[in-house]
Amino acid sequence: MTDPEGGYRMTGAGRMLIALGGNAIQRPGQRGTVEEQIANIQLSLDGIVAALGAGWSLVLTHGNGPQVGQMLLMVEAARGQVPELPLGVCVADTEGALGYLIQQALLNRLRHEQRPAAVVTIVTQVVVDRGDPAFSHPTKPVGPFLSATEAETFRRERRWTVADDAGRGFRRVVPSPRPLSIVEAEAIRRILDAGVVVIAAGGGGVPVAEEADGSLRGVDAVIDKDLASALLARAVSAQRLVMLTGEPFVFLDYGKPAQRPLPRLSVEEARRHLRDGQFPAGSMGPKIEAALNFLAGGGEEALITSIEGFTDALRGTTGTRISRE
């Protein structure tokens, strides 16, 4: 909405899904200790608390790539000593653990500010298609960066698929099928209706496939967090989708001398820039695609900004807004 001074202000007692980027939990160069993760989460709460103060009903999602990678390394190190954990179980474990850290940090902040609130984490199953081409072409990076020597060793000894990650180093890549539906969507809607903040679909949720008899079974894959967030936002009838990343805006010609921010994008502009390669698949592309999916499903507006800039984005002074208008 427009404030009296003519600026844009994101207010209203509607429903908002906030997708926390990787920096909200683990910063570049950190080891990823629990203490580091708690400190990072605490620094990421300002915008979330401001959104609650503005009357929004909130769903939070988050990434878990580094944490899944660390768990996979622990699984490999314990091979032969304990039963091996499939990738889907590792995703579920980290979804629960990180949800716990975010839930506790947010509750502590709200209690400190004497704001009555309830927060709950739901380990979320997300349905995918076993026939998705992604299972034949792994692309989703998980785990820490590897040297060329380490990458070759893991290819040979552990039969990992390893690929260069945007020139930053090598990482293990796993299948990333498209999310089709959220199993716990109805439960999440009911909890939101009760006034509770929900943390769900962490790391894109746990991938499951439907069997011929209708039962669900876990599959070894990782779902893109932003695409799952857009799907969940649609499933709970959210009006706003917020994706927090490392930059205050979406940029054209990112990293080049002609780089320029985009405060607003129409759906058609976003599609055109996506087709033109302005938003690569390994960085901004999934966020733009998620925003378009969300708007196509009835969402009113998608916002992409930095974790640090989210509070200012709520006031309308930063961030990239994508809408159908």
For the annotated catalytic residues, the residue numbers are: 22-23, 140, 225, 287
DSSP character string of 130-169: TT-GGGGS--EEEEEEE-HHHHHHHHHHS---EEE-TTS-
Separation of alpha carbons 20 and 16, rounded Å? 13
Of 324, 301, 313, 159, give the one whose Cα is nearest residue 239. Answer: 301
Q: Return the DSSP state at 29.
A: T
Task: For residue 42, count CB atoms less than 10 angstroms from its CB and return exposed for 0-12, middle for 13-18, buried for 19 or more.
Answer: middle
Contact 29, 22 (CB under 8 A): no
Separation of alpha carbons 207 and 99, rounded Å? 17
Q: Reduce the DSSP state of residue 43 to 3 states and report it.
A: helix
DSSP character string of 265-313: EEHHHHHHHHHTTSS-TTTTHHHHHHHHHHHHTT--EEEEEETTTHHHH
Tell me how far the alpha carbon of residue 303 is from its chain's centroid: 13
Furthest-apart CA atoms within the chain: distance in Å = 66
Q: Where is 87: in which H helix or E strand? A: helix 87-112
